[in-house]
Structure 1
Amino acid sequence: MNTVIAFIIIFGVLVFVHELGHLVFAKRAGILCREFAIGFGPKVFSFKKNETVYTIRLLPIGGFVRMAGEDPETIEIKPGYHIGLLFNANGEVNKVVVNNKDKHPDAKVIEVEYADLEKELVIRGFEMNEEEVLKEFKVSEESYFVMDGQEIQNAPYNRQFGSKTLGQRTMAIFAGPMMNFVLAFFIFTFLGMVQGYPINESVIGELTPDGAAQAAGLQQGDKVVAINDTEVSTWEEVVKIIQVNPGEELDFLIERNGQSETIAITPKAETIEGETRGIIGVYMPMEQSFWGSFPKAASETYNWSKEIVVGLGKLVTGQFSLDMLSGPVGIYKSTEVVAESGVFLLMRWAAVLSINLGIINLLPIPALDGGRLMFFAAEAVRGKPVDRHKEGLVHFIGFALLMLLMLVVTWNDIQKFFL
């Protein structure tokens, strides 16, 4: 149960932060955001604040921000329609009643002759039961359609995604992955402040209770000067000597409280990935510093990003196989293992997953943010946008292929862990 809760919280936070990036920068650009959703499928919970409906959906496999103009507007007012009009204090139309006009007796019913609710924001038509005089009605920028008892906000063209500059649209899409990197940076910063961050010095960190180091008398904070008369100054040098001497007694020359002392330790032999290595049961030294945590967090975010990109490069070149990819099931099982090691390691795991999510979304694959950015790059080169229908078809095909890949990866995970 703890693993389920941890998985839901981690995955929910990563998706929430990603979609929040899209939402914040889209709103900053003046785009009408109709829905902010975590998950896909049927709605489980929803509420509306200002212009946006916030929803949690049944299938926890991602999220989305529905921006006006990204999908065809669902309601269209054509000539010959009979509609009801409700007005605000300025005499502008603020509600267009599409059906069930009898439930709005105050509405002025007209037969539409012309309507433009995107650019001109006008409706022209003939009032019912009056002389056939064509009248023009100004529509408020903040107007709503009333249909089947629900109010749907109209999106003038200047509130639609496509009306914004290339830079604004690019930032609204790029902000999602960007926020995943920002989240990872803040998690690493917090861990550095609370737990400390590793330093590459030949100092003994925390000791394991059943390790050879503790049994021999080493203490946290001891500075290792030399091992078997070989001088050491970094943690990497200490680890290298220990690993290549499993079962061999080593003389550690240490400094403790200004005094030198020699302690004999025999590393235990442990087989890791088919290779036998020596271990003595000590962790890398940690240092706590408020200001030092920021550059360390930036460095760790960069290093993990580089590691993930290199791994993806090997997948493309065939050095890694598809079987090495993990989907939701594989991530769940890994979360289960990490959760047993404590909350700090779980937070670090969340930061790595956040970086991974950011990088995956930046790949130039249709249906992902990187695919959208690829079309924006083409627009910048061509000087005009790619045809929306052609772009939509490419994204649809890309989404279908991604779903197929997810099914294959999930099936591989199930076979590895359960069959």
Structure 2
Amino acid sequence: MNPLRLACGLASVTLLIAGCTTTTDTPQPAAVGVLAPLTGPDAGWGVDAVNGARLAVDVVNDDHPELPLPLAAGTGLPGRGGARLSLAARDTAGGPEAASAALTSLTEQEHVAGLVLADSTEVAESAASQAQRLRVPLLDARSTDDYLTELGIDWYFRTGPSDSRLAEAAFALLARRGQGTGTITLVTESGRTGSAAAMSDLRELARRAGVPIGETLTVTASAADRDALHDRLDAQAGHTVVAWAQTAAGARAVADAVGQTGERPTLFGLGQGFRLLERPDGGAALLRAVPWSAELAGREPTARLVAQLYEQRFGRPMSAVAADAFTATIALAAAIDAAGSSDAAAIRTALRRTSLSAVQMIMPWDGVRFGDDGQNQFAAAVVEQWQDRGYRLVYPVELASSAARWSSPEPQP
């Protein structure tokens, strides 16, 4: 063989080998699952939850240096070699059985690194038990019942505040009102998981706040119960109603009963039902303790920018449910990145070590840090009131845009 041709051939082989050894494999995406009701009566807010999670994935995957959120600057997960985050959403249909089946499918077939759940308490309890069996981290973005973090499920985490934390904000505002509060009537939606525990917790929190309790009542969403509650309330005077409801129908029944009484007592709404109540059509002077306020988000730079991104992508304003799911997904992504692997146990450990500050949030909280029970210890609550045909922030006072009103609201159109 010609020596020159041999030399050229050897050089070509050398270059090919060098090229092969310097090629970097693209890291595999890290998948997260989202469970929400995408069919049935709660499908509207279930879609919002999935969209909130999708926006969080976009923030992680794309470069958003203007946002001080975890993983917003740069692209992908640096702890996973720049891997992108992917999202797999499944429908719970608002039921525990469908949620458990969907969780199993996401874990065993999609091999998700963790899951975000936005659904009712009953669904959360079932999903938490299934996550424990499958050993996959589950972040609850929506439910608030205290007992869920008392079940001893160490693969379960909750990003938002518990009912007790929400109620603390309510009673703190009532305590500021002082003697003007009078006697309060406690009302809970009966037939719901956690209703007995909620009543017990409300009694204890009222005692601690020095707020006197009169009657304790239960109600369902039925017209008969609503009318009976109205009659009981109409016979009383000089009182405030503190109510806990898990469903929007239950919350509306209470609001209608209160709004139709002669004196229209102030109504303080707690529980997921009141967070889903878009407006108190019955005319009640409604205050509610919530983890997120759209009005406050419009005044806070980071939350406002995220809400603008949400509206640009999905063509509708960011809702509280979307903000819940966005926050939980960001917290899960930060833990996946910190773990540096797809190992579920490593991600669970990273979640337990998670420490996000207030400036890394779109929520009005002190940040995210999970306790031994999986509850975010930094989650907080604010109080908003239906005023002038919209919800206005009234507590804490340093964040308030309006003072709480203790008289009847304007007539409803």
Q: Same fold by TM-score, threshold 0.5 exceeded?
A: no
Instruction: With the length of structure 2 as denominator, give the TM-score of the two structures.
Output: 0.21
Q: Which has the higher strand share?
A: 1
The higher-RCO structure (CA 8 Å, 6+ apart) is 2
Query: Looking at CA atoms only, which structure, 1 or 2, has the larger radius of gyration?
Result: 1
